[in-house]
Amino acid sequence: MTHTITAFERSPDGGMGLARDTRVRWAFEEVGQPYEVRPVSFAAMKEPPHLARHPFGQIPTYEEGELVLFESGAIIFHIASRYPGLLPDEANARARAISWIFAALNTVEPPILEIVTAKFQEGGKPWTKERLPLIADRIRQRLGQLSARLGEAEWLDGEFSAGDLVMISVLLRARPSGILNEFPRLAAYVARGEARPAYKRAFAAQLAFNTAEPPAG
Ligand code: GTB
């Protein structure tokens, strides 16, 4: 069965791997499944064919036969549930790995996204200068807690899992602000994720996709 995901026709980050198709590509690479990528322009994202796949007009989406999914977390959970390699077999360990997926998306990612919004969408607003340090402190609080839990461990709970994949993908978005590097254990954790062959393949694929010459004409 072919798996097709959608991605920005050209990611605004120029191939830094920060758009959310990268985490889905990484999941496919970890479980050794091939996938195809359908590029979507910003305009096409808001048109009916794409809105039928994604109610909020965003990427990534996932198609596999009749099944259409949206939300990167749901897509990664689906891939991890369907193919071995990203979730432990033992029931309690599996439940804990799933908790880490939710923790990454619901607890760690929101303050990180706030700083992106404050800088890039509200950068010119009069309150932004005062708001940024407040957001930065909220990120520091979460990263401090996460770092304390990780301790000297390699991964969050035993073997590398989908929980680590999503958490590392989320933490990567805190790197441009400089805050990630204030937490050496987390910076090293992210580097371990980036060193995985599956991550390297996913990163290279999105970079090639985002830097390819547009078709002539
Ligand atoms: N909760 C959803 C999920 O996890 O799948 C969020 C999906 C989402 O935010 N998608 C973004 C999107 O489609 C792309 S990833 N945006 C277009 C729109 O909403 O109209 C977010 C993103 C965008 C750009 C960069 N970048 O350039 O660095 C990084 C991340």
Q: Quick one: how far is CA 98 from the chain centroid?
A: 15
Let me know whether 116 and 189 are in one domain.
yes
- Residue 53 belongs to a domain: yes
- Residue 217 belongs to a domain: no
Alpha-carbon distances, residue 184 vs 63, 172, 181 (angstroms)? 38, 13, 6
Let me know whether 52 and 117 are in one domain.
no
Residue-wise pLDDT for 124-153, tens only, equals 898 899 999 999 999 999 999 999 999 999
Let me know whether 106 and 29 are in one domain.
no
Q: Is pTM, for the whole model, over 0.75?
A: yes
Q: How far apart (Å, rounded) are the C-alpha atoms in residues 39 and 189?
A: 31
User: What CATH number should be reported for the domain holding residue 113?
Assistant: 1.20.1050.10
Q: Give how many domains the chain has, as a whole number.
A: 2
**Tokens describing residue 131:** 């708001």
Strand ranges (DSSP E) for the chain?
4-8, 36-40, 61-64, 67-70
- Residue 188 belongs to a domain: yes
Ligand 1 neighbourhood includes 40 CB (under 6 angstroms): no
Q: How far apart (Å, rounded) are the C-alpha atoms in residues 22 and 174?
A: 15
Ligand 1 neighbourhood includes 71 CB (under 6 angstroms): yes
Pairing relationship of beta strands 61-64 and 67-70 according to DSSP bridges = antiparallel
Let me know whether 20 and 64 are in one domain.
yes
Ligand 1 neighbourhood includes 59 CB (under 6 angstroms): yes
The DSSP code for 216 is: P
Ligand 1 neighbourhood includes 170 CB (under 6 angstroms): no
User: Closest ligand 1 atom, CA of 60?
Assistant: 5
In angstroms, what is the span from residue 213 Cα to ligand 1's centroid? 23
Let me know whether 54 and 111 are in one domain.
no
Q: How far apart (Å, rounded) are the C-alpha atoms in residues 58 and 120?
A: 18
Interacting residues of 171 by C-beta distance below 8 A, sequence separation 6+: 108, 112, 143, 180, 186, 189, 190
Decide if pLDDT at 217 tops 80: no
In angstroms, what is the span from residue 100 Cα to ligand 1's centroid? 21
Let me know whether 13 and 50 are in one domain.
yes
Lowest mean pLDDT across 71-85, 125-139, 203-217: 203-217
Let me know whether 131 and 204 are in one domain.
no
Let me know whether 127 and 170 are in one domain.
yes
pLDDT at position 120 is: 86
Lowest mean pLDDT across 25-39, 45-59, 125-139, 195-209: 125-139
User: Closest ligand 1 atom, CA of 70?
Assistant: 5
Alpha-carbon distances, residue 192 vs 4, 92, 116, 206, 214 (angstroms)? 28, 25, 24, 19, 33
Let me know whether 96 and 80 are in one domain.
no
- Residue 44 belongs to a domain: yes
Query: Residue of the nearest CA to atom 26 in ligand 1?
Result: 13
Query: Residue of the nearest CA to atom 29 in ligand 1?
Result: 19
Interacting residues of 136 by C-beta distance below 8 A, sequence separation 6+: 115, 177, 179
- Residue 216 belongs to a domain: no
Print the domain residue range for 146. 91-196
Let me know whether 53 and 99 are in one domain.
no
Let me know whether 97 and 160 are in one domain.
yes
User: What CATH number should be reported for the domain holding residue 64?
Assistant: 3.40.30.10
Query: Residue of the nearest CA to atom 23 in ligand 1?
Result: 19
Higher pLDDT, 120 or 170: 170
Q: Is 161 left (phi over 0), alpha (psi -120 to 50) or beta?
A: beta
Let me know whether 23 and 78 are in one domain.
yes
The gap between the terminal CA atoms of the chain, to the nearest Å, is: 33
- Residue 124 belongs to a domain: yes
In angstroms, what is the span from residue 186 Cα to ligand 1's centroid? 23
